[in-house]
Amino acid sequence: FSLEMSKEQLTYRLLSMEVGIESGRLRTGRLQQEEWPLLGQGINSLGQLPLFLDDKPNAGVLEMRSLCRRLMAETGKELGLIVIDYLQLMEGSTPDNRVQELSRITRGLKSMARELNVPVMALSQLSRGVESRTNKRPMLSDLRESGSIEQDADLVLMIYRDEYYNPETPDRGITEVIVTKHRNGPVGTVKLLFEPQFTRFRNLAA
C-alpha cells in the first residue's frame, strides 16, 4: 500500500533497483544502447513477481483488510508480506485526536496480521526531536505519535546514515539498520551499503 507515491513512481524505483539504472534516466529514456536489453529483462523479472501495488491515498485498516482478503481469494494463495508506506497517512475514525486515531490504526494492523497470518511492515515518520540531539541516531521515543507504535510492534527497525548529517564522515555510503525493539530476539545494529542512485541496500560483504 503506497499512500504517498503513485504506482508509476514506485514502479520506476523498483525497476531501478532491479537493473541498476538511475530512475531519472528510466523516466526520460536516456539509456545507452546496451542498457535497453537490461531494461527488458528487468521488466520481465518484475512482471513475474507476485507483487501487487495499491496507491489509493488515505486508505484505512478496514479497506486494506478487505483488499487483502479479496487478493487471497482471487489468487488462492496466502500473502507473504503486507507493506504500508506510510503509517501517518492512513485514515482513521477519530481525526480530532491523532494519537488515539493512530493507536486504533496500529491495533487494527496487528489484528489484520494475526487474522490473515501475514507479517505487516508499516513505515513511520520520526518526530523532529531527533534533530535537536547531538547523537542523531533514532530511538524508539522518536517515532511520531509513538506510544501505540512502540507498544504494538513486534519488531522496530530504524535507519541512520551518518553521511546525511556529516558529509565528511568516513562511513560514506554506509547505512546503520538499528533494531530498537525485537519481541522475540535480540536488538542491535546491522550495517549495509546504500546506493542512493538506485534506492537500494546491499550487503557490505557483497
Q: Which residues are catalytic?
A: 4
Residue 196, by phi and psi: left (phi above 0), alpha (psi -120 to 50) or beta?
alpha
* 114/152 Cα distance (integer angstroms): 12
Instruction: Supply the DSSP symbol for 110.
Output: H
By CB neighbour count within 10 A (0-12 exposed, 13-18 middle, 19+ buried), where does 102 fall?
A: buried
Amino acid at 9: Q
Contacts for 132 with CB less than 8 Å, ≥ 6 apart:
none
Residue located via cell numbers 542512493 = 196
